[in-house]
Amino acid sequence: MEAIDEEGVTDDDLTPGDKAPTDLPGEGEFLSPCEENSDCYSGFCMSTLNGKVCTELCIESCPHPDWKCERVAPPGSEPVYACVPPNSALCRPCANDIDCQFIEGEEGARCIEYGPQGRFCAVECSSSEGIGCQEGFKCQQLKIGGEPIELCMSKQNDCPCLMGFVGLSTRCYNFNEHGTCTGDRVCRLQGMEYAWDDCTARVPAPEECNGIDDNCNGYIDEDMGEFMCGLGVCAHLVPECINGQPGVCNQYKGQSAEICDKLDNDCDGETDELWPELGQPCDGPDPDECKNGVFVCNAAGDGVVCEGDFPNFEEVCNGIDDDCDGLTDEDLGTQTCGIGACEHTIDNCVGGRPQTCNPMEGYQPDDPPDPDYIDSNCDGIDGDASKAIFVDASSGRDTNPGTRENPKKTIQAGLNAAASQGKLYVLVSLGVYNETVELRNGVGLYGQYDASADWQRKVENTTTIRGNSNKGIIAENIASKTHVQGFVVISESTSERGGSSYGIFATNSPGLELHSMTIQAGNGGRGENGIGGQNGLNGSMGGQGTQGCGYNCGCLICINQCGDCPRPLGGDGGDSVCGVAGGNGGNSGGINGLGFSGQQGQGLNDLGQPSGGYGGAGGASEGNGLNGGVGLPGFTGLRGINGLPDGTYTSSGYVPSNGQAGGDGTNGGGGGGGGGGGGGEGDAILLPCCEMYGGSGGGGGAGGCGGKGGGGGGGGGGSFGIFVSGGKLTINKTVIRTGRGGDGGDGGLGGTGGAAGRGGRAGPRGEQGTQGMGGSGGAGGDGGKGGDGGGGGGGPSIGIACVDNEQLVRDQVSIVTGESGEGGIGPNGNNAPAGRNAQTLGCKL
């Protein structure tokens, strides 16, 4: 709120309700000034905004049109009806504008601050429109909210306490250089007068420690300050005033036993006094002996440690004792340079001068791979990389050129490339190579390299050749010196019947030299079992003889009583597919004639003597023929001979010792034919006029065929670490292990002899009963059983086998042989012998 113009308006500007009557009242009359009730005829002196004036008692109306008849309670009197001034917000105590805007026509009244006396209502006026203010007030222009407004303001800069204001209050204040204190002024009836209470606001004073807001700024005992109390860790600030009372100092608050922590823990004014070495120079745990550090408290606070002893003054090659230990240029170490044979070590410092290592010192131009893995030409590998083809099963490809960076994949591809390019050797990385390797004349083969480690060669690296046949390595026609070094060679166990397994198979290869090898041969194959002999066929049965009969009448009158039959023929001998048929039976004899003899059965024994049965003799006149003889049985075939412990060693490999086949059984002899019966006479009309044939002889049964001999069992194959033919062999630092020799096959059983055929039955005599009956045919002999085959010999297990007494040069060679193969089962259950077991066989040592 801002005052603009303090000039008031004249009484001519007053509204009719605001100005006094034109005719001044007489003393004691209505509206005349007064000081007390006795000054008025009505006995009632009333306070107004214009001062005290006399009023009148009334019933309904008052002499002045703006005054109203209302019930009032004069001080010290009973309530009465008296005339009161018109109702107005002017000078009413207020807190805000709303407290002033309840009178009709005074909606524009505002609550205005009159200074320390309080806030009172001011009504609108207008100097331009002639709306003035009551007496004692001036129309003053103020600025509220940035807008100008004219309001009636008391010229006394205060408002009176009127009867209508009793009980109302306004906020008042006292202020000075210390602050502003607010309070209240209350309009009260005080004795016989209406008056304002004194302002309750205190007089602002400097703030003191008393629990009172002395300067009325909303804070109690503020800015009293603090003072320092205690020493060391006990030092702390204490407020000068606490709850209206002076602060009290406890100088040992926080005291504890002294520890090493840069603090005065026991509050005695001394810090870490138990450790006088604190801050002194020291030599810490660094290697030098220079005191570059300082003692400080340790982490536990119960001692000191040396801290900051850096940098570490290390000894350098300069002829000075840099690390303060009294020695010069000591412990500066050595340096190593060069690779292979050029690798050597020198002192880093000599005479205070740093030294430089020459990486090519010790270089040798010739560097074939050697058993000690020495890199003589210092090119990073054992051997000369420029003369080699490289092979790595893991990263290589056979289409690669075979360099260190792009190796071949298989050893065979490497050997072929080396031979075609004139390279001296093939260097093979560790791993397993599933291939049978055929060496090339003059091309060395070296294992135990590691392609992933820049082709370094170490004894712990393993390079394995696992042959994909019964041979691991094949050396054929190796005339020039050809080294094979640093491999594990494994040949497969053979599945071939009687086949052999060879770790290394060398033919005509005097230039072959083996070094640092491990050779493991697989197992030999089992021999084939002999085939069982075929059983002999059975002999056929002889044919039956024919009954005797009449064939002619020898009298003049027979009246057809004799018959007309042909001569009965002897039965056929039994058939044979092996030449031992039975003999035919004899024909019958005529009237009073002899019967014919039967034929002898076929067959000869081993001595060339007949083994067939004899033929039966013919019967005399009217006599019976004799039976044919029985054929002799055949002989059993010879037993096969078992195989031997050794087969045959040839340039093509080992040939097992097979069992011999059994002999065939001989055939049984054919049975002899029975003799024919003798002829006789028969009666006709009471006379012996009929001529009669006797019964014919039965045919002999065929002999049984002999059984075939059983096949011999095949010999077991061998297990050979090295098999040498045609040339010496040099071996160093090599371990040879063989597998098990193959078992020999069992001999086959001989076939059974065929059963003999039975002889044919004799022909009976005729009806007359005067002729003889034929003889029965003899049975054939049974065929002989075939002989059992011999068992195959067991396969050998030999470390080194030489075919033709080849020279063997060896040094530090260890041979461990496996078991020999068992011999196969021969005749009568007798086994053939087990195979040979030997470290070497047939070699010139």
Predicted local distance difference test score (pLDDT) of residue 684: 54
Alpha helices, DSSP H, located in 307-410: none
Predicted local distance difference test score (pLDDT) of residue 23: 64
- What's the whole-number mean pLDDT along residues 27-56? 87
Predicted local distance difference test score (pLDDT) of residue 305: 92
Band (441; pLDDT cuts 50, 70, 90): very high
- What's the whole-number mean pLDDT along residues 235-244? 90
- pLDDT tens digits for 612-666? 999 999 999 889 999 999 999 999 999 999 999 999 999 999 999 999 999 999 9
d(CA 242, CA 250): 14
- What's the whole-number mean pLDDT along residues 332-350? 89
| pLDDT over threshold 50, residue 787 | yes
Predicted local distance difference test score (pLDDT) of residue 5: 43
Collapsing DSSP to helix, strand or coil, 232 comes out as helix
In a domain, 375, yes or no: no
Band (14; pLDDT cuts 50, 70, 90): very low
- What's the whole-number mean pLDDT along residues 772-787? 94
Please, which residues have CB within 8 angstroms of residue 76's CB and are 6 or more apart in sequence?
192
Candidates 78, 224, 85, 94; CA nearest to 168 is 94
Cβ atoms of residues 530 and 712 within 8 Å: yes
Q: Is omega for the bond preceding 407 within 30 degrees of 0, making it cis?
A: no
d(CA 526, CA 523): 9
In a domain, 117, yes or no: yes
Which residue reads 């040069």 in tokens?
A: 809
In a domain, 58, yes or no: yes
- What's the whole-number mean pLDDT along residues 590-610? 84
In a domain, 394, yes or no: no
Instruction: Give the burial class of 366: count Cβ atoms within 10 A of its Cβ; 0-12 exposed, 13-18 middle, 19 or more buried.
Output: exposed
Predicted local distance difference test score (pLDDT) of residue 701: 95
**pTM (two decimals):** 0.57
Predicted local distance difference test score (pLDDT) of residue 106: 80
Band (87; pLDDT cuts 50, 70, 90): confident
d(CA 579, CA 603): 7
| pLDDT over threshold 60, residue 20 | no
**Rounded to the nearest 10 degrees, how much is the dihedral formed by the CA atoms of 201, 204, 209, 211?**
20
Band (525; pLDDT cuts 50, 70, 90): very high
Predicted local distance difference test score (pLDDT) of residue 1: 52
In a domain, 562, yes or no: no
- What's the whole-number mean pLDDT along residues 814-818? 97
- What's the whole-number mean pLDDT along residues 448-466? 96
Which residue reads 């600030």 in tokens?
A: 237
- pLDDT tens digits for 164-208? 888 899 999 999 999 999 999 999 988 778 889 999 999 999 999
Please, which residues have CB within 8 angstroms of residue 55's CB and are 6 or more apart in sequence?
30, 31, 40, 42, 44, 45, 46, 67, 82, 83, 84
Mean per-residue pLDDT over the chain, rounded: 89
Higher pLDDT, 360 or 303: 303
How many residues does this entry show for the chain?
Answer: 845
Band (687; pLDDT cuts 50, 70, 90): low
In a domain, 165, yes or no: yes
β strands within 34-146, DSSP E: 45-48, 51-54, 68-72, 80-84, 110-113, 119-122, 137-144
H-helix or E-strand containing 484? Answer: strand 482-485
DSSP 8-state symbol, 826: -
| pLDDT over threshold 90, residue 822 | yes
Predicted local distance difference test score (pLDDT) of residue 308: 80
- What's the whole-number mean pLDDT along residues 278-287? 84
| pLDDT over threshold 70, residue 513 | yes
| pLDDT over threshold 80, residue 748 | yes
Band (22; pLDDT cuts 50, 70, 90): very low
Domain tally, the chain: 1
In a domain, 791, yes or no: no
| pLDDT over threshold 90, residue 571 | yes
- What's the whole-number mean pLDDT along residues 135-162? 90
Higher pLDDT, 8 or 539: 539
Asked which of 96-105, 218-227, 449-458 is least confident by mean pLDDT, the reply is 96-105
CA 819, 823, 825, 830 dihedral sign is: negative
| pLDDT over threshold 90, residue 48 | no
Cβ atoms of residues 793 and 835 within 8 Å: yes
Band (15; pLDDT cuts 50, 70, 90): very low
In a domain, 119, yes or no: yes
Q: What is the DSSP string of 257-324?
A: ---SSSS-TT-SS-SSTT-TTTT-EE--SSSS----EEEEE-TTSSSEEEE---S-----SSSS-TTS
- What's the whole-number mean pLDDT along residues 721-741? 96
Please, which residues have CB within 8 angstroms of residue 587's CB and are 6 or more apart in sequence?
567, 568, 569, 570, 595, 596, 676, 696, 697
- What's the whole-number mean pLDDT along residues 298-326? 84
Asked which of 44-53, 403-412, 756-765, 810-819 is least confident by mean pLDDT, the reply is 44-53
The percent of residues above 90 in pLDDT, for the chain, comes to 61
Candidates 102, 130, 37, 112; CA nearest to 76 is 37
Domain enclosing residue 148, as ranges: 2-196
